[in-house]
Amino acid sequence: MGRGKNGDSLGLESSMNMQARVMTFEEYLRHSKVIDNMDDERRKKSFNLNKWNENMQKNFLKKRKKLYELPNFEALREGLQKLEKEIVEFNAKFIERRKEIDLLEVEYERLDDENSEQLLSYVISCREKLRIENNEIETRLIEENLKKKRGKL
């Protein structure tokens, strides 16, 4: 405060500081948007995976019903073995993809939480800096007004 700045220069400095802070807020919000877009993409994959599971389960049931119509036991046994192999392969792929998507969900939630915490800390810091700067400007303006009234400027 002892730098001899007048009210106008303090106002300009405060305005420039505010602009820099707003730009930082904007960057945090951009990060939030990117995280949200990644999470939206993950959600689509999850919905598609669930739809794929539903369709495959229907397909397996349809194949099983056809097995009941087979003419002999050996054909039925071969059909069941083939169906079992398909189900095992499908389940392995499904579980692998489900785990990938679940890991993405956890990661994106962590990024979102971290970004929100950083933004909140930054908001608190900016509020305190603004309070201090406003007090300095107010003090400086009062001092300038008193000097003008006393004719000392």
Residue type, 109: E
Is residue 108 assigned to a domain?
A: yes
Average pLDDT over residues 30-52: 92
Is residue 28 assigned to a domain?
A: yes
pLDDT tens per residue, range 49-105 = 999 999 999 999 999 888 888 889 888 889 999 999 999 999 999 999 999 999 999
Q: H/E/C letters for each residue in the chain?
A: CCCCCCHHHHHHHHHHHHHHHHHHHHHHHHHHHHHHHHHHHHHHHHHHHHHHHHHHHHHHHHHHHHHCCCCCHHHHHHHHHHHHHHHHHHHHHHHHHHHHHHHHHHHHHHHHHHHHHHHHHHHHHHHHHHHHHHHHHHHHHHHHHHHHHHCCC
Q: How confident is the model at residue 25 (pLDDT cuts 50, 70, 90)?
A: confident
Our count of domains for the chain comes to 1
Is residue 1 assigned to a domain?
A: no
Using the CB atoms, write b or e for 41-69: b if 16+ within 10 Å: ebeebbeebeeeeeebeeeeeeeeeeeee
Task: Check if the beta carbon of residue 36 is closer than 8 Å to that of residue 108.
Answer: no
- pLDDT, residue 2, reads 47
Task: Check if the beta carbon of residue 5 is closer than 8 Å to that of residue 139.
Answer: no
Domain containing residue 67: 7-150
Is residue 2 assigned to a domain?
A: no
pLDDT tens per residue, range 80-90 = 999 999 999 99
- pLDDT, residue 88, reads 95
Is residue 116 assigned to a domain?
A: yes
CB atoms within 10 A of CB 128: 10
